[in-house]
Structure 1
Amino acid sequence: MSLVSDNKPGGNGDSSFSDDVWEQFARDTERDIRNSAPKEPSARARMVTERLRQQDERGDRPESWRVGPSVHETKRRSARRRRLWAVIGVPLAVVVAVVAMKPSLLPGDPFDTSSGTSSDDASAVSRLPDETAPPTAAPSASSGTPTLDRPFAGSPAERWADGADGIVVPRATAVGPLTEAQVATALKRTKTLLVEANLDRATLRGERPEAAIATLDPKQPKMVDDVNRWLRSPGKDDDPLALFTRFDPEEIRLVGDVVKTRGRITFKAGERASVVIHADYSFVYPVTRADNNSTEVTRTIVRRVLDLEVSDPTKYRVTPGKLAILRYDRDLANSACDVHDGFLHPRFDSADPGGPDPSGPTVDPYDRSRGIQNSEPGACGTLSRT
C-alpha cells in the first residue's frame, strides 16, 4: 500500500512546484519510509543471538561481551572487598609480621632458626599461672645450661614471672577496725618493700635501700635502728642480707634486665586491731663475674618469708600505713658460706668464691613446698640445682 497520494497539492490541480521537483519529493519520501520500517533479522543473525543467549545462561559468555556493572553495583563490590580485607587481610598481615620476627614458628623451621637453642625454648614463653596456694611438690627438672643470651635455661624459673609482675597484690577487704582502703595501702606497701629490697637495681648493687626502709614504721622499737646498723657495719650478727639482696659490684654483675619472681601474698586479722600480711617469695638472679670478658653464668636463688603488721592508729602508737615487721626469714642459695660482708657471693663452676664448702643436707632451692621457718642463719646446705 502506497502512503503517497497521486494528487498534487492545491485541490484544483494547480501547483506551484514543477513536475520534476514533485517526483523527487515522492521518491525521497518513499525511500525514507522503507528504511525506517522494521526488518526481520536474517537466519545468521538469529543463530548468533540464540548462541549468545545460551552462553549467558551457562555463565561462559566472555566478560568483554557483558554489560558493565552499574555505579551501585560497583560500590557494593568495593564494600565487599573492604570487608574481605578486614576479615582476611589484617590477620594475615599480623601473621606475616609475627613470622618475620620469629621465623621458627613456621612448621619445620624452614629457616633453621633453632641453631644454638635447646628444645625447651618453647617453655620460656609459656608463663606459669600466678601462685595462689602453697605448692605441694618441687617443680620438675629441666635441661639446659645458662648462657648470657638465655640466663634461665635449665631452671624452673624460666617460666616464672619477670620481676615486679610476679608480686601480685590480692584484692583488699576490710579487716577488723581497718577499712578496705587502709588494708589496700598496707598491701601496696608490702609490694613496695619486696620490690625495693630485692629487685631495685641500686639495692642489688649494694646501695642504701632508702625506698624499702621508708615503708617501715619508725615507731617500731629498734627495727629501723637495727637496719641502719646492718647497712653501716655488716657482720655475722648484723647482716643486711636478712632483709635486702645485695651483690658486690666489683665482683658480680647481673645478666640481662630480668630477675625471675614467684610467690604469694595473703592477709588476715591480727591480734592488735590489725591486719597481718604474710609474704613468701623466691627471687632468681642470673649473674656473671664483673669482668666484661666473662661468659660463665650462674644463678643465686633467694627466698624470703615476711610477716608484716599494720595496726589501727587510733588504738596503738603506730605510724598510719607503715609496716611493722613481725618475722623475717630467708634462704640464700648459691652464695659463699660464712662470709659476712653484707653481700652475696655466688659460686661458679670454674672458681671458688671463698669460704668453706657446703656441708649441710642437700636441698632444692626451687622447692617452694618446703618451709624455711627452721632455717638457721649461717646454715650452708648442698644444692641439688641452681
Structure 2
Amino acid sequence: MVGRPPEEPANGSSLSDDALRAFLEDSERGAASAPKEPSARARMVTERLRRQGEPEGWRTGPARKDTDGRAGRRRKLWPALGVALALGAVAVSLKPSLLPGDPLGSGEPQAAAASPLPPETAAPTGAPAPVDEQVPTLDRPFAGSPALRWADGEAGVVLPAAKAVGPASEERVAQALELTRKLLVGANLDPRTLRGESPTDALSVLDPKQPDLLGHLNASLRTPDKDHDPVLLFSRFDPDEVRLVGDVVKTRGHMTFSKGEFAGVAVHADYTFVYPVSRADGSTEVTRTVVRRVLDVELSDPAHYDVTPGRLLLRTYDQELANSACEVYDGFLHPQFDTAEPTGAEPTGPATDPYDRSRDVGRNTSESCGTVSRV
C-alpha cells in the first residue's frame, strides 16, 4: 500500500490532537508553527479473481490514517388457442407487467424495488441486503448493485440542519457544512476530477496556511508515486484507459458536526461513491469501482487563530478503494475487467463488502490487498 510521507509519524497515525492544539494555540500567540499535514494511509484496492472456479472477488487494502450475469428469471405465457393468444397480446400491450417476471422491466413490483432510499442520517447497523446477481450493462450500469437505490451524484450529499454549537453561530455551522460538501463534490463527483484533471474546486476550500498540505497534494497530482498518491483523496480515472458509463455516480452517506477544538466547527463526513466504467477501447463490458471516503475537517475562527477565513483545515482522511488495481501509483484508479488481464498485486487480505457502511474504515491496518464480496 501507499507509504507514509516524510512528515508522517512512523506508526501510521495522523498528527495527534495535542500537536494540532499546540499549533493553533501557538498561532493565537502569533507563532508561525502549524500542524503537520494529516495525510491518509488507507487504501482498499481490488480486482476480480478469475480462472480459478471461485466466486468473483476484488482486491482491497485498507489501512488507518487519522487524517447481466444472471438476469431476473423470465417466464412466458404460451396460450393454446389463437384467440387466447390474440387477447393476451392485447392485454400485455396495455399492461406489460401482466407478464410474470415483468420481462419488459415496466412492472410495479420492480419499480418499487428500485425506489430511492431515504437519505442516510447516521451509520447503518449492517450491510445492504443481497440483491439479484446481474451483469451491469451500458444501459443498466447499476444492475445487480445495492447502489441502484442510492441518490444520483450531488443529490446524495445531504447536509444536516445547521444550528449553533459552542461559540460558533448557526451561520458558521452552515458555512462549514457547505465547504465540506464542496470538498466532497469537487474531489469525487466533478467530471474534470474524474477524468484526471486537477481537482481545482476541492483544493480551493483547503487552507493554504495548513503547512505542507497543498504542497503535498499538488506534488501528488503532478508527479504521483507511492508516497504521493492523489487517489487517497481524489477519485481520478485515466481517460486513455476507461470512461465513465453515463453521467451518474451513485452516492450515499451522511455528515455530522460538533464543537471544534479551536473556536470553530468540526465536521465529520462519511460517503461512498459508486462509479460505473467501461474500457476506452470500445469494449461494452461494464464494471464498477466503489470508493468510500471518511473526512474530518474544521472551520476554525480566524479572529482567534492564524487561519484563512472561509477555508477548511483537513485534519484526517481515510478511504477504501474497491475494484482498483493494487500497488499501482500513477495517480489513477484502475478498474479491473473480466475480459482484460489484471494489473497490480495479487490479493492476499480478507474479504470485505464495499457496500457495508456499518464497518469502520481503516480497522484493518495490515496494508494488504484483499478480496471483496461484490462490487
Q: Same fold (TM over 0.5)?
A: yes
**1:39-75 CA distance string (max 9 Å, x none):** xxxxxxxxxxxxxxxxxxxxxxxxxxxxxxxxxxxxx
Select which of 119, 125, 138 maps to 1:130: 119
Select which of 301, 308, 317 maps to 1:328: 317
Q: Which amino acid aligns with 1:229?
A: A
**For residue 273 of structure 1, what is the aligned residue in structure 2?**
263
Q: Is the 8 A contact 1:365 1:385 kept in 2?
A: yes
Equivalents in 2 of 1:322, 1:377: separation in Å?
34
Once the two structures are TM-superposed, the CA of residue 173 in structure 1 deviates from its matched residue by 1.1
**1:100-125 CA distance string (max 9 Å, x none):** xxx78665159x97348999842564
Q: Cα–Cα, structure 1 residues 105 and 262, in superposed 2: closer, same or farther, change >3 Å?
A: farther
Equivalents in 2 of 1:297, 1:118: separation in Å?
25
Equivalents in 2 of 1:341, 1:360: separation in Å?
22
**Greater mean alpha carbon deviation, residues 211-220 or residues 347-356:** 347-356
RCO comparison, higher one (Cα < 8 Å, 6+): 2
Residue 197, structure 1, aligned to residue 193, structure 2: no
Q: Which amino acid aligns with 1:208?
A: S
Residue 381, structure 1, aligned to residue 370, structure 2: yes
Q: Cα–Cα, structure 1 residues 362 and 348, in superposed 2: closer, same or farther, change >3 Å?
A: same
Matches within 5 A, 1:142-157: 142-143=131-132, 144-157=134-147
Matches within 5 A, 1:103-118: 108=98, 114-115=103-104
> 1:187 is paired with a residue of what secondary structure?
helix
Q: Is the 8 A contact 1:182 1:321 kept in 2?
A: no
Matches within 5 A, 1:39-78: none
**For residue 354 of structure 2, what is the aligned residue in structure 1?**
365
**1:70-106 CA distance string (max 9 Å, x none):** xxxxxxxxxxxxxxxxxxxxxxxxxxxxxxxxx7866
Aligned residues: 283
**1:203-249 CA distance string (max 9 Å, x none):** 00000011110010111111111111111110111000111000000
Residue 299, structure 1, aligned to residue 288, structure 2: yes
**For residue 91 of structure 1, what is the aligned residue in structure 2?**
none
Residue 230, structure 1, aligned to residue 220, structure 2: yes
Equivalents in 2 of 1:104, 1:327: separation in Å?
56
Name the TM-score, length of structure 2 as normaliser: 0.71
Matches within 5 A, 1:136-215: 136-143=125-132, 144-215=134-205
Gaps of 5+ in 2: 1-92
More helix per residue? 1
Gaps of 5+ in 1: 1-102
Once the two structures are TM-superposed, the CA of residue 134 in structure 1 deviates from its matched residue by 0.9
Q: Is the 8 A contact 2:266 2:298 kept in 1?
A: yes
Q: Cα–Cα, structure 1 residues 120 and 242, in superposed 2: closer, same or farther, change >3 Å?
A: farther
Equivalents in 1 of 2:95, 2:169: separation in Å?
50
Equivalents in 1 of 2:160, 2:193: separation in Å?
26
Percent pairwise identity: 59
Q: Cα–Cα, structure 1 residues 115 and 279, in superposed 2: closer, same or farther, change >3 Å?
A: same
Select which of 342, 345, 363 maps to 1:353: 342
> 2:123 is paired with a residue of what secondary structure?
coil
Residue 262, structure 1, aligned to residue 241, structure 2: no
Matches within 5 A, 1:4-19: none
Q: Is the 8 A contact 2:351 2:372 kept in 1?
A: yes
Q: CA RMSD in A?
A: 2.3
**1:186-211 CA distance string (max 9 Å, x none):** 11011011001000111000000111
